[in-house]
Structure 1
Amino acid sequence: MEYRRLGKTELKVSVVSYGAAPLGNEYRQIDISEGIRSLHLALDLGVNFIDTSPYYGRTKSESVLGQGLAQIDRNRYYLATKVGRYDLDEFDFSADRVAQSIDKSLRRLRVDYLDLIQCHDIEFGNLDQVVNETIPALQKAKQQGKVRFIGIAGLPLKIFCYILDRIEVDTILSYCHYSLNDTALEDLIPYLETKDVGIISASPLSMRLLTNLGSPDWHPSDDETKQVCAQVAAHCRCQGGDLAELGMQFSLANPKIHSTLMGTANPDNVRKNINCLTSTYNANLLAEVQEMLKPIHNRTWISGYPENN
């Protein structure tokens, strides 16, 4: 496993990190024991950064994660969760709710402190409230020893500049913006480097778009994007390749991204994803896939308030 410095935090995090959303049944109904085995395997293979949220499974992900980590030495991993988003349409970035949320997460996760607390999907909130109320509340939690570092997370890339131009945070978590079909995050990296911010990329397979399974029913991308990605997956199969493997290899290859979250509750997929760090990709197939994806490259969707996109 390779480790990189997570911005100004000085944490040395694994290049592949564990995204615990699947433990909350976000993609399918899981077997809890299998999900916990996937977590333990990831740790055994060198993963040391774990990310979750009370939103994932509406607290189920945190509860299962707490169960899985109960017998693991706390010094073996860095743990991140989030505040602000609690249900599909339930957002609350107020200082009081943030403080309550942290305490509840600590209990569910069965830990005394969090290495990283992140404001979740801030594009659904008032960004000035995040600057003037939410982040100061997180700073207070840091002073109390409940959290070590503070980050922000969301889809539209402009939200990161808005916040970072006004207040200091330690990390950003971007999703669906560094993958075969969307590399928009790359253009933001020079700015993020001037702030010495830790860069976490999530959904390297675009929330299942870049897999043989295809996108889940709730996926917000447009029909053309889904169709093109399905065609690309079929092309990879015909060439003896696997789009998910190629997608992971591509996403993990950028040294400027400090950690990429893999979300899976399947031990076999944990091993496959981590193997992508050292396996050799098919350069010809990659070129073919990138050509096929050109019509929809960097195509995204509106998330949150229009003015935050």
Structure 2
Amino acid sequence: MHKTRIGRDGPNVSVLALGGASLGGVYQDVSQGEADAVVQAALDAGINLIDVAPYYGLTRAETALGAALKGVPRSDFVLMTKVGRYGDKTWNFSREATLRSLDESRARLGVDYIDVLQCHDIEHGDRRQLIEEALPTLRDLKGQGAIGRIGITGYDLSVLEDVATTEQVDTVMAYCTYSLQDRRLAGVAQRLGRSGVAVFNASPLGMGLLTSKGPPDWHPGHPSVWAAAAEAARRCEALGVDLSFVALQFALQTAAANGIVSTVVGMSKPSNLDRNIEALTTPIDPAVLTAVEAALAPVRDKGWDVLPGGGGKAGK
């Protein structure tokens, strides 16, 4: 597995990261045995970057991941978790909540040290509290050696870039903004990368948008975006391929050239891992890519902040 570096002097991490949300049963029930199997398979495949959060499965993901990592040498993985979001519409970026959350996460994960501690979905929390309490607390923790790096996550790229620049954080994770349909993260990632900020891309399938099944009912995308994605799926089917595989190929294979350090993909079983590695290593068919891009062209870069949809997520 190819490795890249977090920032200018950070640890080397795999370009494909294990997303831990699936381990919390967010999409379907996942047994501890399944969690153990996919984590071990990921490590065996050279994936060493793992991302999780207390919010995922309301602590179930961290608990399952901690059990799966039991006995694994700490030097074998780079662990990212989050603070600040604790429910569908619950944010708390206070110093007290941040310290408590870190202690609880470390206990669930079975570790003393978090490589990257991120403030979760920052655009929906109290901005003043984030700036005046959470981020200074993370700086204190970094100075004490309890965490390695400070990160922020979210969807709103203007907010992420502004906070990353003014507060000089180490990492940024954005979701649903670097995919076949929406590529706005690329410019942001390149600018932040030049200043030493490592950028991660999450949800390269657009939270189910770029799949043959289509997005869930709660998806916040506009109906015109859903329709274009459905047409892209039909064109892929006619060519004998699956849209989600093509979308993964694109996101994984073009990430580095667009300033993205690693792509975070949820995995709940080894077969998911095998498919993701295949997408990373199998060259994309130019004819297929042309057909898909043509279907998506009318809604290219039209996120739900541009074309509000009928669903909702992250406090909407």
Q: Place the TM-score, normalised by the shorter chain, in its bin.
A: over 0.9
CA distances 1:170-214 after superposition (whole Å, capped 9, x unpaired)? 100011011000000012133202321011100011112112232
Indicate how the Cα distance of structure 1 residues 262 and 107 shifts in structure 2: closer, same or farther if over 3 A, else same. same
Matches within 5 A, 1:199-210: 199-210=199-210
CA contact (8 A) 1:16 1:259 kept: yes
In structure 1, what is the equivalent of residue 173 of structure 2? 173
Who is 2:297 aligned against?
294
Over the matched positions of the two proteins, sequence identity in percent amounts to 38
> Is 173-182 or 128-137 further displaced after alignment?
128-137
Conserved 8 A contact 2:152-2:164: no
Amino acid at match of 1:175: Y
* Deviation per residue, 1:112-151 (Å, 9 max, x gap): 1100000000001232332222110111122332211110
What is the Cα-based RMSD across aligned positions, in Å? 1.6
Alignment match, 2:276: 273
CA distance in 2, matches of 1:109, 1:251: 29
Q: State the alpha-carbon separation in 1 of the partners of residues 293 and 201 from structure 2.
A: 20
Q: Alpha-carbon deviations, 1:145-173, whole Å to 9, x = none? A: 22111100000001122213321111000
Contact 2:201 2:263 in 1 (8 A): yes
> How many equivalent residue pairs?
306
How far off its partner does 1:9 sit? 4.5
Confirm or deny that 1:282 pairs with 2:301.
no
1:39-188 residue pairs with structure 2 within 5 A? 39-188=39-188
SS, match of residue 253 in structure 1? helix
The residue matched to 1:217 in structure 2 has which SS?
coil
- C-alpha distance in structure 2 between counterparts of 1:58 and 1:215, whole Å: 22
The alpha carbon displacement at 1:248 in A equals 1.1
Distance 1:264 1:10 in 2: 25
Q: 1:263 aligns with which of 262, 266, 282?
A: 266
1:221 aligns with 221
Give the drift of 1:276: 1.7
CA distance in 1, matches of 2:41, 2:315: 39
Equivalent-residue separation in structure 2 for 1:224 and 1:32 (angstroms): 39
Q: Alignment partner of 1:61: what SS? A: helix
Partner of 2:309: none
Higher relative contact order (CA 8 A, sep 6+): 1
Question: Which secondary structure state, in structure 1, belongs to the residue aligned with residue 268 of structure 2?
Answer: coil
Q: State the TM-score, normalized to the length of structure 2.
A: 0.93
